[in-house]
Amino acid sequence: MSIKGGRDEGTTGTRLNHARQLRSEQIPAEQRLWYHLRDRRFPGFKFRRQKPIGSYIVDFVCMPLRLVVEIDGSQRTEQKTYDDRRDAWLRSQGFVVLRFWNNEVLHDTAAVLERIRQVINALTPDPSPGSGRGE
């Protein structure tokens, strides 16, 4: 399945409906992180939540940076193989995947946001110095 212009051409109606349902049933950790990522509040980049990509639905994604942010609960240990396969596929499509535990987001939000900020800074080139015109 190919992704063009930030849209997944292979997205089915069922997956879209499932993503909508997930958006309406966010867990507290997702709600807290979404508060900081939504409306370009987090260094001016647009994030989407519960976004279908390929055959998967990611918790949060910034498409221009190809940055995926996932929040894991206690079930993560039970579905590690699935998540590892999913992360490998996302990386093969050029995405960077960050994972945080629910309790990290709830109890150390500042550290989570700082880690996301560090990755964003690494993914965005510094503006080049001026050419010296007008001096």
pLDDT tens string 5-55: 344 444 556 655 544 554 455 789 999 999 999 988 877 899 999 999 999
Q: Is residue 22 part of a domain?
A: no
Instruction: From 66, 88, 50, 56, select the one nearest 6 (Cα to Cα).
Output: 66
Q: At what angle do helices 28-37 and 109-123 cross, to 10 degrees?
A: 50
* Structural domain includes residue 2: no
CA 110 to CA 112: how far, in whole Å? 5
What is this structure's pTM?
0.75
Rg of the Cα atoms in the chain: 16
Domain range for residue 35?
Answer: 27-122
The total domain count for the chain is 1
Instruction: Note whether residue 14 is domain-resident.
Output: no
Phi/psi at 70 (5° precision): -115, 145
Please give the pLDDT value at position 12.
58
| Residue at 7 is within a domain | no
Question: What CATH number did the domain enclosing 31 receive?
Answer: 3.40.960.10
Average pLDDT of the segment spanning 85-99: 97
Q: Is the residue at 75 inside a domain? A: yes
Q: Say if 91 falls within a structural domain.
A: yes
Q: Is residue 128 part of a domain?
A: no
